[in-house]
Chain A
Amino acid sequence: MSKIGNIPVNAQNGKKRTNPLAGVFDELVQFCQSRSMFMLHYCTGCGAIELPPAMTSRFDMERLGIQPMVTPRQADILLITGYVSVKTLKRVILTYEQMQSPKYVIGICSCTVNGGMYWQSYATAKVLNEYLPVDVYIAGCMPRPEAVIEGLRRLMGNIENGKGIAWKDYFQRYDHYLGNQQHLFGNDWQTPTDIIGEARHYGLETEQTCGEHSRILEQHQQPLEPYKMRIKL
C-alpha cells in the first residue's frame, strides 16, 4: 500500500511529447484527455456489477465524457473490477500493454488493493500495483457507483493537473514490473507486446527499463520485430 502515490517521476521526460500538437497545446490536450476517457472494463469480479448503474441513467458517466470501449487499442482507462487470479492477471497485463498511452489503471474493490477476502488465496494476485502502475484505487467491497464516479473524478483531476503519468512508470521501470511478473508466472513469461521497444521508440527508456529481469526475458523471447515492407526483387 505504501507504494501508491509514490511513483517516481522522471523530470526530463515529464514534458517530452512525440506529438507536435501536444507541444503547442499542451494544456488543451491535457484538458481534453481528462474530459474524454474511453474505458475498458475488465470485469474480473463482483465489482463489475457496480458499473452498469454508474453508466446508465442513474449516474450517467457520459456527463463526464466517460464511455465504454471494446478493445484495449481504443481505451484509455483499464478498470479492474475485482480479484485478479494469476491466470487472469496474465490477460490483464497483456491488455494493459496493448493499450496506448496515456493510459490509466483503476483498481476497484478491496481485492485489487490487498487481495481483500482472497488475501489467503494461493491463486490470486494480491496487490495490483506490483504488476501494473495503478493510478487510482477505489476501495470497498464493493464500492458504490458514487464511489466509482468519485474515483473517476479524482483521476480526471490528476490528468488535468498533469499528475496522471503513472503509465510512464511502466516504461521507465519496466524491469521492476517484469521482475514481479516473472516472480509470479515463472521465468518463461512473455507477452506478444514489445514494451522495451516501445520505450525506446518513444524516448521513454531509462536505466531501469532494462535490467536483470529483462535479460531473462531476452533469453527466450520470440522475435517481435515487425515485418518491414520491403522491395527485394
Chain B
Amino acid sequence: MTSVTELLAELLLMPFIAFVVGLAMVLMYRKIAARLQRRIGPPLLQPIYDIVKLYGKETQISHGLIHDIGLVMAVGGYVAAEIFLPVPGMDGIADKGGIITLSYVLMVPSLGLALGVGQCANPNGSIGISRALTAMLAYDIPFIIVVFGVATHYQSTSLVGMIEYQQIHQWGIFEMPLLAVAGLFALQGMMGKQPFEIYVAPAEIATGPMVEMSGKYMGGLFVMQTFQLYTAGVLYTSLFLGGGANWFEFLVKIFIVVAIPMSVALVFPRYRTEDMVRIMWKWPVMVALIGIAFVL
C-alpha cells in the first residue's frame, strides 16, 4: 500500500473485478449445467440480463427496514470481504486482517441475510436460515482445520505472506495434498451447491432464504452469488495454488477451482441436513486431521 490513490483505486476496483469475474463464473455454472444436461444453455450476457432485469423491476415488496438493511449487509459484507482478498497487483488491505479475519468477515453477509430473511415472517425462509447455519457448522469445521494446517505450514495468517511463500517455494497443493483435498470438499459445502444445497431446497421449502425476495432484493442476492463464487475461488487459489503471478494465470486458476465443485454438483442429488453434517464431519475432517499431522 504505497499511496492513498492506489488504495482508493483498490477499494473501487477489487469489488468491481470480483463482480465481473463472478458474473462469468455464474455463466460458467449455467453453461456447465446445460452441457451436462445436453442443452445449449443461456447466452453470454445472461447473468447481466438477469441482474439488470431484477434491479429494473418496478414494484417490489419489503417486509420492513431490517429486510432492507439485511440486503445492504449481505452485499456490503461481500464488497468488504473482496478487499481482504489479494489479487495480482492488488493487495487491498489484506495485511490488516489475514485469513482468520477474512473468514469471520465472510460471516457478516450471511448474518445480514439471516436477519433480513427473518423479518420476512415466512417460516420457509427461517427454516432455510436454520439449515444454512447448520450447513455452516458442518463445512466450517473441516475448513477451519485446513486453515489451521495451512497457517501453521506457512507460519503466517496473512494471505499475502502465504502467496509469497508459495511463489518462492512450491504450491501448497503439492506440499499439503491432503489438506488441499479436504479444503476442496469444504469448498463444495461453502458454495452451497449440490449435494449440499439443503437450505435452498426449492421443491421443499421454496428456496428457503430467497422465498420473499423480489426485484432488487433478489438482484442483491444474485450480486451476492457472484461474489460468493469469486471469493471461494480466490480463497482456495491463495491457500493452495500460489495465487497468481499475473492476471491470466490467476483467472485460469480460479475458474478451474470453481469449475470442479460445479461439475460435481450437477451430478448429485441433495443430502438431508443431518447427512450433510455427518459427511462433513467425517471424511474431510479425517483427511484434514491426517494432513495436519504431516504439517506439524
Q: Do the two chains belong together in a single complex?
A: yes
A: which residues have CB within 8 A of B?
17-19, 21-22, 25, 28-29, 31-33, 35-36, 56-57, 60, 62-63, 65, 69-71, 73-74, 76, 100-102, 198, 202, 226-227, 229
B214 touches A73 (CB 8 A): yes
Are B37 and A36 neighbours in the complex by a CB distance under 8 Å? Answer: no
- Contact status of A62 and B56, CB under 8 A, knowing A32-B49, A70-B207: no
| Beta-carbon contact of A57 and B59 below 8 Å | no
Query: Which residues of the other chain, A, contact B203 by a CB distance below 8 angstroms?
Result: 70
B46, B50, B52, B63: the one within 8 Å of A28 (CB):
B52
- With CB as the reference atom, state the residue of chain B lying closest to A63: B40
Minimum CB–CB distance from B198 to chain A (whole Å) comes to 15
Determine how close the nearest CB of chain B comes to the CB of A65; give it in whole angstroms: 6
The answer to whether B215 touches A100 (Cβ under 8 A) is: yes
Of the listed residues A36, A63, A226, the one surrounded by the most CB atoms of chain B closer than 10 A to its CB is A36
Given the complex, which residues of B lie within 8 Å of A63, measured CB to CB?
Answer: 39-43
Cβ of A17: which chain B residues have Cβ within 8 Å of it?
58
Supposing A57-B39, A60-B40, A226-B64 touch, asked if A100 and B49 sit within 8 A by C-beta, the answer is: no
Nearest-neighbor residue (CB-CB) of B202 within chain A: A70
Contact B207 A21 (CB under 8 A): no
Query: Which chain B residue lies CB-closest to A55?
Result: B39
User: Taking the complex as formed, is B61 at the interface, i.e. its CB lies under 8 A from any CB of chain A?
Assistant: yes
Which residues of the partner chain A approach B53 to less than 8 Å between Cβ atoms? Answer: 29, 32-33, 35-36, 76
B96 touches A (CB below 8 Å): no
Residues of B within 8 A of A28 (CB): 52
The answer, yes or no, to whether B60 is at the interface (CB within 8 Å) is: yes
Among B105-145, those with CB < 8 Å from A are: none
> Are A36 and B46 in contact, with the CB atoms below 8 A?
yes
Question: Which residue from chain B places its CB closest to the CB of A16 in the assembled complex?
Answer: B58
Whole-angstrom distance from the CB of B90 to the nearest CB of chain A? 29
Decide if the interface of chain B is mainly helix, strand, loop or mixed. Answer: loop
Complex contact A65–B57 (CB within 8 A)? no
Count the B residues whose beta carbon is within 8 Å of the partner chain — how many? 37
* CB pair A74 B48 closer than 8 Å: no
Complexed CA–CA distance, A76 and B55 (Å): 13
Give the interface centre of A57, A62, A229 by most chain B CB atoms within 10 Å: A62
Contacts of A202 in B (CB 8 A): 58-59
Q: From A99, which residue of chain B is reached at the shortest CB distance?
A: B214
Residues A73 and B38 in contact, CB atoms below 8 Å apart: no
Judging by beta carbons under 8 Å apart, are A57 and B46 in contact? no
Bound-state CA distance A19–B43 (Å) is 26
| Docked CA distance A70–B48 (Å) | 21
B34 neighbours in A (Cβ, 8 Å): 60, 62
Q: How far is the CA of A57 from the CA of B34 in the complex (A)?
A: 8
Report Cα–Cα, A226/B61, bound state, in Å.
Answer: 11
Contacts of A22 in B (CB 8 A): 56, 58
Question: CB of B146 within 8 A of chain A?
Answer: no
Contacts of A56 in B (CB 8 A): 37, 39
